[in-house]
Structure 1
Amino acid sequence: MSFIGNILWIILGGFLLFLMYFFGGLLLCCTVVGIPFGFQLIKIAVLALCPFGRDVEMLRNSGCLSLVFNILWVVFGWWEIALVHLVLAFLCAVTIIGIPFAKAHFRLMKMSFMPFGTNAVA
């Protein structure tokens, strides 16, 4: 089921979402200050490419530096990505067919709100 879900996800816009996250991460990696944020966007891009069959887990030993970077992530306005995924999740959940896609957007929202200290696990 996850293979079919990933194929449908990619066809219905998941690939464009992956490209936006990936190239945004590459642009941030071009600056010295943006490298940690760029790596997190690339991590979100990998989850955005194939979200079905994966879950987002919080790491217990993430440390205080990840907390500082998560605060900077929110201060610099990257929380808007999570808000977009929340809106898209509600729009997908309106139809019964879109509920699995809504769950995928909720996973992406979880990772895009606090990306430091989270991992996508299979």
Structure 2
Amino acid sequence: MKTILNVLWLVLCGLWMAIGYVLAGIVCCILIITIPFGIASFRMANYALWPFGRTVIRKPTAGAGSTIGNVIWIIVAGIWLALGHLATGFALCITIIGIPLGVASFKMIPISLVPLGAEIVSTNDPRAAY
């Protein structure tokens, strides 16, 4: 079932959302100081391509640096990517088949807003239970 949902996701919206994350990553990698944002954006692009069967967990060891970075990320790119997920989620929820995909899009909003200090893991990972 995960594979079917992932293929539907990829065709309907995953590719476009991943392109948005890749563009944000490229922009962030232009300047040396924003490379960590670019790396986080590329990780999220991978997650946006194939989200079912994976989840996001917060790293308990993330410190003040990730908090400061997340505030900067929200201002620079996070709000726009979150709005993209919100619009995509509403559009997908119009049809019954699209409801699970819309819910997945809504679940990506927190990671698109605050990516630093988070890790994307398989749902089979023992850490995903927390």
| DSSP-derived class of the 2:32 partner | coil
Which residue pairs with 1:51 in the alignment? Answer: 51
Q: How many residues align?
A: 122
Q: Report the Cα offset of residue 91 of structure 1.
A: 2.4
**Cα offsets for 1:41-72 (capped at 9, x unmatched):** 10110101101111112222211110010111
Separation in 2, partners of 1:16, 1:87: 12
Runs of 4+ with deviation above 6 angstroms:
none
Question: Residue type of the partner of 1:52?
Answer: F
The equivalent of 2:110 in structure 1 is 110
**TM-score scaled by structure 2?**
0.83
Contact 2:13 2:88 in 1 (8 A): no
- For the residues of structure 2 that align with 1:91 and 1:70, how far apart are their CA atoms? 27
What SS does the corresponding residue of 2:31 show, helix, strand or coil? coil
**Are 1:75 and 2:40 matched, yes or no?**
no
| Equivalent residue letter for 1:91 | A
State the alpha-carbon separation in 2 of the partners of residues 69 and 114 from structure 1: 9
Q: How does 1:1-122 map to 2 (within 5 A)?
A: 1-122=1-122
Runs of 5+ unmatched residues, structure 1: none
What CA distance in whole angstroms lies between the structure 2 residues aligned with 1:88 and 1:13? 7
Unaligned runs of 5+ in 2: 123-130
* Distance in 2 separating the partners of 1:61 and 1:98: 36
Measured after TM superposition, the shift of residue 77 of structure 1 is 4.8
- Aligned-pair identity in percent equals 35
Q: Are the equivalent residues in 1 in contact too, given 2:21–2:81 (CA < 8 A)?
A: no
The aligned amino acid for 2:84 is V
